[in-house]
Amino acid sequence: MKLLVAVKRVVDYNVKVRVKSDHSAVETAGVKMSMNPFDEIAVEEAVRLKEKGAVTEIIALSAGVTQAQETIRTALAMGADRGILVETEVALEPLAVAKLLQAVAKKESVDLVLLGKQAIDDDMNATGQMLAALLGWPQGTFASKVEIADGKATVTREVDGGLETVELQLPAVVTADLRLNEPRYASLPNIMKARKKTIDVVKPEDLGVDVTPRLTTLSVAEPPARKAGIKVPDVATLLDKLRNEAKVI
C-alpha cells in the first residue's frame, strides 16, 4: 500500500510571530522555520503504519518555496521513503494545496493520504476536507487512532461530544489530531541516510494545477494590547465594577 503524507513549512512554534512593518504579511526573513507540528504527527503515524506492515511506501510532499526541501528532508529522516516538492513562489491557499495533493495522489496511485488537521500559521483546517471532496474519497478528520486492515481504515475521531469511530474504504484521506501519537526524533544515522533519498521537484503547471490566489490580504495586524488588570479589596467592589464599569452583569 502506498501512502502520501503532506508536510508544510511554517514558522517554528517556539518563535514569537511578528508582523511586517508594512502590514502586508507575517515576517519570515531570518525566522526559524520547521515542519507544521500536526504534519509531523502525520509523518510519525505513516512510519508506524509502515513498521506494522500495513504500508509499503511513504511519499512526503510539500508545496512552496525551494527551502521547503528541508521540511521534506526531516520527513525522510523520520522514515519516509522519498519526497516530492511542488515548487512555487505563490502564497498557496488551502484549495490550491488540495488540488496539488489531488494531482499527485492520482499520479502516484496512492491508497491513503495523511496530513495534519491544520497548519499553525493560518489555522484553516480545510485542506484535508477539500482534498477528500476533490478525490471523492471517504475522510476521517481529527484522528486520534488509525488502524489499517482488509482494505479499510478504522479511524477514531475527536469530536465535540467525545470520540467517534468510523470505518473508511480505502483509498481515503485522514487528518491527524494532537493525540494521535508522539513524533520521534530523527536519529543522526537516519538524518545522514535522508540526504541520499530522492526528492523530485515539479511545478504546479507540470501537474496541471492553477495556484493563482483567489483571496487578497488587505492588512495583517497584531492583536490589540490588553489593558492591565486591577486588584479589588472585596467581592462587593468586584460586583460593583462588573455591573457599573464593565457592564457585563
| Banded pLDDT at 226 (limits 50, 70, 90) | confident
* Residue 235, in any domain of the structure: no
Cis peptide before 171 (omega within 30 of 0): yes
Question: The domain that contains 198 carries what CATH number?
Answer: 3.40.50.620
Asked whether residue 249 is assigned to any structural domain, the reply reads no
For the segment 73-131, what is each residue's pLDDT rounded down to a tens digit?
999 999 999 999 999 999 999 999 999 999 999 999 999 999 999 999 999 999 999 99
- Cell numbers at 30, concatenated: 531570518
Q: Which domain holds residue 160?
A: 2-224
Place of cell 508506524: 48
Reading phi first (left if > 0) and then psi (alpha if -120 to 50, else beta), residue 30 is in left
The CA-to-CA distance between both ends of the chain, in Å, stands at: 59
| CA–CA separation, 171 and 114 (whole Å) | 11
Q: Are 91 and 213 in contact (CB under 8 A)?
A: yes
Cell 495533493 sits on residue: 101
pLDDT (tens digit per residue) in 198-213: 999 999 999 999 999 9
Inter-residue contact 180 to 65 (CB < 8 Å):
no
For the segment 222-232, the average pLDDT, to the nearest whole number, is 88
Average pLDDT over residues 34-62: 97
- Tell whether the torsion through CA atoms of 51, 102, 117 and 224 is positive or negative: positive
- What is the pTM for the complete model shown? 0.88
Nine-digit cell at 92? Answer: 498557496
Query: How many domains is the chain partitioned into structurally?
Result: 1
Q: Is the pLDDT of residue 246 over 90?
A: no
Pairing of strands 33-35, 9-11: antiparallel
How distant is the alpha carbon of residue 79 from its chain centre? 18
CA 118/CA 123 separation, integer angstroms = 5
